[in-house]
């Protein structure tokens, strides 16, 4: 009875186990005989492979294998391993009924009976395709990331374990830090830090900050393998797993040395610019103050100019009005004429000084150097200055020291202008005593120069006045200026002219109440020869002035029968020139502008034309060009207020035969006309 019960119980357990296996659908569970023939089949196996029990029972297990595995008898290999080692495990490709492949996790175990005889095999298979694909995608992603990191050369990208040991290394890290992968893997990352940061455990602080906040950034100094330093931008990121356990750190380092150097250069440039701005601001402020001072000086100068011009102009106008009155004695008429002529010359001199200074200041002064006979030149100066001194009742003398050259190469007119200014001032301001001039040749730093020392016994110059003596628009003692006149241009102009001639004008000595000494120097460029010594006697006859007209040679001027056309838009000037010419016998006709002149010239035969330049309708330049174009070959003389050398060159280039400037010297004008009509 017990045997029947035990047998029924055993059968019941097997049925329950078979039902359990049959109900599992996620796993393929089946049995093989000792030769690998499928002898059982569960629902999970049918679901996984697509085969029903009727289709697969009695088939060899290799039916699920790929062609390649069947060819190499991999199923038999698995059975052999399971039999000899007690189990076979693997993850391999298998084939479904429809031919599709899937990844399977395989477990194969041998089955023995109670006597130890092999009865077959039990096989469990699970579909792991999704897991394998996910792992493969992850591996591919990791490989792409690895390749990306590996290829980056501008950044050092490497991994650290939780203790700071280097576990990976890219090419950028090798380029920036100098270590190869073999040299650095396994070392602590503190090897990149300078000693002061190592001693301060700064690297450990960085890891703690990254661990606490997830990320740490800084810019600092790091060390390369060769010991050189560089500026680095560092980012450390803590890496945690799903359980928030620290797995290590990712570190990215960028060499920012060039950027830091550029920032330093930019900072220095900014500081330099700021300094330049400050300097420029200071210069502008100084220039502003200087401009204000210059403006004040110019205002004072203009006020004085107004006075200086109005004073002689008043005399000219006043005496002209007196001449119009009938009740005038011969003596009064003579005095009036002298006053008009004297004051007219003063106005011309003043205007010439202003123009000369303007040309010098603008850099437009052109020198006309030539060989000058020094003896003749000095005698001219002596004669003129001696006459001025006699009028003042003071003594004047000129002497030499040592040997002097026979000739000097200079601009005689400009040198004469300097001497008349300086010596003229000495005579003008010396009320009693004397003015003495000493001439000598000395060796300067560059070449030999002529020195002319002017000593007077005048009032002297205060020291505060001496500092501004050579500035344009500045004058000395105002009371002396009012007493003796002057515009404040003479010394300023003289110094600039002397500079242009290779020398200077200097205040050598001055004692208030005793007198003043000025020293004039100019370059000579001459051979040293004994010229004269001692004191030159005043009153020596002067040689003829350069450029003198015919009348200075004593020739009788007569323009009788000469027909002249005056082209001038100003009535008074036209009338004045007409009277000059009629007094010497000329036949004079007039035109008010260039167009009228053209009409008259083409109609009548004129021997000469006096042509103003600035006129309405048609100016003198255009009229002259047109006359020359139409074949007029007689002399055309420019009669104009344009007195610059550039103006003279322009008139010469445009067909004029001569250039006479206003105010007109009537003797010079008549002489020029006579010379040209006779030629």
Neighbouring-strand partners of residue 639: 660
User: How many whole angstroms separate alpha carbon 24 and alpha carbon 42?
Assistant: 7
Is the model more confident about 147 or about 656?
656
Mean pLDDT within 546-558: 42
**Using 50, 70 and 90 to split pLDDT, how confident is the model at 306?**
low
Pairwise CA distance, residues 472 & 487, whole Å: 9
Query: What pLDDT does 532 receive?
Result: 47
Nearest CA-CA partner of 660 in 556, 555, 568: 568
- 3-class DSSP assignment, residue 222: strand
Alpha-carbon torsion 152, 153, 154, 159, what sign? positive
The partner residues of 438 in beta bridges, in order of sequence, read: 399, 453
Instruction: Count the neighbouring beta carbons within 10 Å of the beta carbon of residue 213.
Output: 9
d(C-alpha 175, C-alpha 157), whole Å: 11
Start-end of H helices in 35-128: 43-49, 53-56, 67-71, 74-85
Residue 237: pLDDT band (50, 70, 90) is: very high
- pLDDT of 1 strictly over 50: no
Query: What's the whole-number mean pLDDT along residues 149-156?
Result: 70
53-57, 153-157, 301-305, 431-435, range with the lowest pLDDT? 301-305
Q: How far apart are CA 535 and CA 382, in angstroms?
A: 10
Q: Which CATH class is domain 367-535?
A: alpha beta
What is the four-CA torsion angle of 123, 124, 130, 135, rounded to 10 degrees? -80
pLDDT of residue 641: 78
Query: Looking at the predicted structure, is the pLDDT value of residue 5 above 60?
Result: no
Tokens of 333: 């008429």
How far is 344 from 342, CA to CA, in rounded Å? 5
What's the CA gap between 406 and 99, in Å, rounded?
129
> At residue 492, does pLDDT exceed 90?
no
* Residue in 398, 462, 447 with CA at minimum distance from that of residue 427: 398
Residue 142's pLDDT band (cuts 50, 70, 90): low
One-character DSSP codes across 405-421: -SEEEE-HHHHHHHHHH
DSSP state of 618: S
How does the average pLDDT of the chain come out, rounded? 83
Give the helix ranges, DSSP H, for 60-108: 67-71, 74-85
Question: 81: Cβ–Cβ under 8 A, 6 or more apart, which residues?
Answer: 88, 108
pLDDT tens sequence across 396-452: 999 989 888 889 999 988 899 899 889 988 998 898 999 999 999 988 777 788 999
* pLDDT score recorded for residue 335: 78
Question: Which of 143-152, 368-377, 554-563 has the least mean pLDDT?
Answer: 143-152
Rounded to whole angstroms, the Cα distance separating 65 from 75 reads 8
Residue with the bigger pLDDT between 586 and 328: it is 586
- CB–CB of 531/400 below 8 Å? yes
What is the per-residue pLDDT for 23?
Answer: 57
Cα(first)–Cα(last) distance of the chain, in Å?
178
Which residues lie closer than 8 Å to 89 by C-beta, 6 or more apart? 105, 106, 107, 108
- Hey, where are the domains in the chain? 2-133, 152-255, 262-357, 367-535, 550-678
Q: How confident is the model at residue 539 (pLDDT cuts 50, 70, 90)?
A: very low
- Give, in order, the Cα–Cα distances in Å from 396 to each of 168, 201, 204, 516: 105, 97, 100, 15
Tell me what percent of the residues of the chain surpass a pLDDT of 70: 81
Looking at domain 2-133, its CATH superfamily turns out to be: PAS domain (3.30.450.20)
Indicate the pTM of the whole model: 0.41
What is the Cα–Cα distance from 166 to 252, expressed in whole angstroms? 12
- Positive or negative, the Cα torsion across 144, 145, 151, 152? positive
Whether omega for the bond prior to residue 233 falls within 30 degrees of 0, making it cis, is no
**152-255 falls under which CATH superfamily?**
PAS domain (3.30.450.20)
What is the CATH T-level fold of the domain 550-678, as seen in this structure? Rossmann fold (3.40.50)
Contact assessment for residue 9 and residue 93, using Cβ atoms and an 8 Å cutoff: no
Token representation of residue 332: 């009064």
- DSSP symbols for 243-262: T--EEEEEEEEEE-HHHHHH
Task: Please give the DSSP secondary-structure letter assigned to residue 454.
Answer: E
Tell me, yes or no, if the two domains 2-133 and 152-255 fold the same way.
Answer: yes
**Out of 94-103, 232-241, 482-491, 651-660, which region has the weakest mean confidence (pLDDT)?**
482-491
Could you tell me the two tokens for 66? 């790929």
Pick the closest to residue 417 from 520, 341, 527 (CA basis).
Answer: 520
Here the contacts of 198-202 (C-beta below 8 Å, separation 24 or greater) are none
**Res. 479 pLDDT band, cuts 50 70 90:** very low
The pLDDT of 508-512, averaged and rounded, is 90
Tell me the two tokens of residue 536.
């030159």
Q: Identify the weakest region by mean pLDDT among 90-94, 144-148, 246-250.
A: 144-148
Pick the CATH number of 262-357 from 1.10.287.130, 2.40.30.30, 3.30.1330.10, 3.90.1300.10: 1.10.287.130
Long-range contacts of range 78-87, CB-CB < 8 Å, 24 or more positions apart? 78/106, 78/108, 79/32, 79/36, 79/108, 79/121, 81/108, 82/108, 82/109, 82/110, 82/121, 83/110, 83/118, 86/110
Q: For residue 473, what pLDDT band results from cuts at 50, 70 and 90?
A: low
Residue owning tokens 């004045």: 576
Say which DSSP state 98 is in.
Answer: T
Q: What six digits make up the tokens of 275? A: 């300094």
């Amino acid at each position: 009875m017990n045997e029947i019960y035990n047998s029924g119980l055993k059968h019941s357990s097997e049925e329950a186990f078979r039902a359990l296996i049959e109900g599992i659908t996620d796993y393929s569970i089946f049995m093989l005989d000792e030769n690998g023939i499928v002898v059982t089949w569960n629902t999970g196996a049918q679901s996984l492979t697509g085969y029903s029990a009727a289709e697969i029972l009695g088939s060899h297990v290799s039916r699920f294998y790929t062609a390649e595995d069947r060819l190499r008898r991999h199923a038999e290999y698995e059975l052999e391993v399971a039999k000899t080692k007690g189990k076979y495990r693997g993850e391999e490709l298998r084939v479904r009924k429809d031919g599709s492949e899937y990844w399977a996790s395989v477990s194969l175990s041998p089955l023995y009976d109670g006597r130890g005889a092999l009865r077959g095999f039990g096989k469990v298979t699970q579909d792991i395709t999704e897991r394998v694909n996910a792992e493969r995608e992850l591996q591919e992603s990791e490989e792409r990331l690895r390749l990306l990191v590996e290829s980056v050369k501008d950044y050092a990208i490497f991994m650290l374990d939780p203790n700071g040991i280097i576990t990976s290394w890219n090419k950028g890290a090798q380029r920036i830090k100098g270590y190869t992968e073999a040299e650095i893997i396994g070392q602590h990352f503190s090897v990149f830090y300078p000693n002061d940061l190592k001693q301060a455990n700064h690297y450990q602080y960085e890891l703690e900050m990254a661990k606490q906040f997830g990320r740490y950034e800084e810019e600092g100094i790091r060390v390369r393998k060769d010991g050189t330093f560089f500026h680095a931008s560092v980012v450390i990121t803590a890496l945690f797993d799903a359980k928030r356990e620290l797995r290590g750190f990712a570190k990215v380092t960028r060499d920012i040395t060039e950027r830091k150097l550029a920032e330093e250069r930019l900072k220095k440039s900014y500081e330099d610019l700021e300094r330049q701005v400050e300097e420029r601001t200071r210069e502008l402020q100084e220039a502003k103050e200087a401009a204000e001072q210059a403006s004040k000086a110019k205002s004072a100068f203009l006020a004085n100019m107004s006075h200086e011009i109005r004073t002689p102009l008043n005399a000219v106008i006043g005496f002209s009005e007196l001449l119009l009155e009938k009740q005038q004695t011969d003596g009064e008429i003579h005095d009036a004429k002298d006053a008009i002529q004297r004051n007219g010359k003063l106005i011309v001199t003043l205007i010439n000084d202003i123009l000369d200074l303007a040309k010098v200041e603008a850099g437009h002064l052109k020198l006309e150097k030539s060989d000058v006979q020094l003896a003749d030149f000095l005698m001219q100066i002596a004669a003129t200055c001696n006459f001025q001194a006699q009028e003042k009742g003071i003594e004047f003398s000129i002497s030499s020291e040592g040997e002097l050259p026979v000739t000097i190469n200079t601009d005689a007119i400009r040198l004469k202008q300097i001497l008349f200014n300086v010596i003229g001032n000495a005579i003008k301001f010396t009320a009693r005593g004397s003015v003495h001039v000493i001439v000598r040749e000395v060796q300067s730093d560059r070449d030999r120069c002529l020195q002319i020392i002017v000593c007077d016994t005048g009032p002297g110059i205060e020291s505060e006045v001496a500092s501004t003596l050579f500035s344009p628009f500045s004058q000395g003692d105002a009371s002396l200026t009012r007493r003796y006149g002057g515009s404040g241009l003479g010394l300023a102009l003289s110094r600039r002219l002397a500079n242009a001639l290779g020398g200077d004008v200097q205040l050598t000595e001055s004692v208030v109440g005793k007198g003043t000494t000025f020293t004039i120097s100019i370059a000579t460029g001459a051979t040293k020869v004994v010229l004269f010594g001692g004191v030159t006697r005043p009153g020596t006859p002067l040689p003829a002035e350069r450029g003198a007209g015919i009348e200075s040679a004593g020739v009788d001027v007569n323009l009788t029968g000469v027909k002249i056309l005056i082209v001038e838009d100003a009535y008074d000037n036209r009338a004045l020139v007409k009277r000059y010419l009629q007094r010497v016998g000329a036949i004079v006709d007039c035109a008010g502008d260039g167009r009228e002149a053209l009409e008259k010239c083409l109609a009548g035969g004129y021997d000469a034309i006096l042509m103003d330049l600035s006129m309405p309708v048609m100016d003198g330049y255009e009229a002259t060009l047109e006359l020359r174009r139409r074949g007029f070959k007689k002399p055309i003389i420019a009669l104009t207020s344009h007195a610059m050398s550039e103006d003279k060159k322009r008139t010469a280039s445009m067909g004029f035969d001569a250039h006479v400037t206003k105010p007109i010297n009537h003797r010079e004008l008549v002489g020029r006309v006579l010379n040209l009509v006779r030629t």
